[in-house]
């Protein structure tokens, strides 16, 4: 069992505005996310080359990210 990188707590008022509901979820850093690619490869003239570093494959067709960053779509590697 792996420990989470941290925890995220979101505070929301209830419908009446009397209570505060605390929602918690695990924080997954980009470097531990299944959508993170340290080295992104593309075929250039039939040759596989590294064309980018630290890419999130979940955003669009790949977006530059930081290995210590995080987002709400983070999913732990299996």
In a domain, 72, yes or no: no
The share of the chain scoring above pLDDT 70, in percent, equals: 97
For 18: left if phi > 0, alpha if psi spans -120 to 50, otherwise beta; the answer is alpha
At 66, is the pLDDT very low, low, confident or very high (cuts 50, 70, 90)? very high
In a domain, 71, yes or no: no
In a domain, 73, yes or no: no
In a domain, 75, yes or no: no
Structure tokens at 17: 């505005």
Task: In whole angstroms, give the CA distance from residue 48 to residue 71.
Answer: 29
pTM metric for this prediction: 0.72
Full domain range(s) for residue 17? 6-64
In a domain, 12, yes or no: yes
Structure tokens at 8: 């995220």
Domain count across the chain: 1
At 1, is the pLDDT very low, low, confident or very high (cuts 50, 70, 90)? low
């Amino acid at each position: 069992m792996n420990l989470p990188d941290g925890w995220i707590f979101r505070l929301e008022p209830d419908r009446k505005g009397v209570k505060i509901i605390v929602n918690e979820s695990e924080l997954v850093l980009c470097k531990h996310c299944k959508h993170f690619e340290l080295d992104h490869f593309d075929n250039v003239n039939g040759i596989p080359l590294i064309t980018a570093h630290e890419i999130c494959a979940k955003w669009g067709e790949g977006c530059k990210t930081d290995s210590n960053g995080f987002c709400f779509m983070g999913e732990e590697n299996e």
